[in-house]
Each structure stands twice: as C-alpha cells, then as structure tokens.
Amino acid sequence: MKTYPNPKSPSSAKNAATKKKTDDPKPVSFFDVVYKIVRKIPKGRVTTYGAIAEAADIKLTPRMVGWAMNGAGSANPAVPAHRVVNRNGELSGRQFFPTPTLMQELLEQEGVTIKNDKVSDFKTVFWDPGKPKTASAKKAVKKTVKKKA
C-alpha cells in the first residue's frame, strides 16, 4: 500500500510536491518554487497567491501557495511574505505574522498604502510574477519553448 506524507507536517510537505527541472535532475519542492517567486517581488509592490500559483507552473492552487507562505518565516534566505495578499488586495495573511499589524507596517515602510487591512492602490502596486518585463523577454520565452519542442 502506498503511503502519503502527513499534510499537516511542514517537514513532509516540503517533499510532497516535487517537479524536476529539465536542466537539473534534483527534485524541487513547491515551497522552493513559491519562495523563489516571492523573493523576486520588488519593494513597494505586492502580488497575490493566485498569481504566484499561476507563475509557478506546477499545478499549484492559491491555497497551496498560502500553505507555503505560512512556513516562510523559517525560510533561509528570508522571504518577503508581507508582499503577498489575496486577490482583492486584502492582508489575508496578517494573522500569521508575530504581531497583528506587522504585515501592514512592513508594507507601509515600503510605500504601500493600506486602509482597513486592504491595499488602497492595489491595481497600481500589483506585480505579476508571470508577466515578462519586455517584448524581447516574451520573444526569448517563445524561442526557448520552440527549441524544447
């Protein structure tokens, strides 16, 4: 009989969902994928659990991203978890910070305006992790995909 890791155990969860990179045969946990994306969020910007899930490209759901973010406090190097909000710009993860206001304080230090536990100018400060920065970046992605096919 096949055994599955306990989903409530953070140590087993890191090994539960893995994907092999084409250039690196070592398995990578979805925690590592999520943290790598979150570390790229620029200061003063925010993104959503869903945008991270889509950018991860390993069939993650926003809830799985939230689960990974819950363990971000012990990640090394540090993960700027305060920059991840829900799809409406609400600070839905604030209860997982050491104090109830820390997430808001960190965002405000970076220039993000918060009102009633929600990013005021959400559309302006939203950062899409899956969107290439320039048209030339899009072309590079297409060339890479064609070469692999």
pLDDT tens figures, 85-142: 999 999 999 999 999 999 999 999 999 999 999 999 999 999 999 876 654 444 444 4
Length of the chain as a residue count: 149
Q: What is the mean pLDDT of residues 64-71?
A: 92
- Ranges of H-type helices in 2-121: 10-16, 30-39, 49-56, 62-70, 102-109
User: What CA–CA distances, in Å, run from 96 to 81, 84, 100, 124?
Assistant: 10, 12, 8, 25
| pLDDT classification of 25: cutoffs 50, 70, 90 | low
Percent of the chain with pLDDT strictly greater than 90? 59
Q: What phi and psi values does residue 29 have, to the nearest 5 degrees?
A: -75, 155
Tell me which residue of 88, 71, 78 sits closest to 8, measured CA to CA.
71
Q: How many domains are contained in the chain?
A: 1
**Is position 2 within any domain?**
no
- With 60 as the cut, is the pLDDT of residue 1 above it? no
**Is position 26 within any domain?**
yes
**Is position 3 within any domain?**
no
How far is 65 from 37, CA to CA, in rounded Å? 11
Q: What is the mean pLDDT of residues 46-72?
A: 92
How far is 134 from 98, CA to CA, in rounded Å? 38
How far is 45 from 10, CA to CA, in rounded Å? 28
Range of the domain at 58: 10-148
CATH number assigned to the domain comprising residue 114 = 1.10.10.10
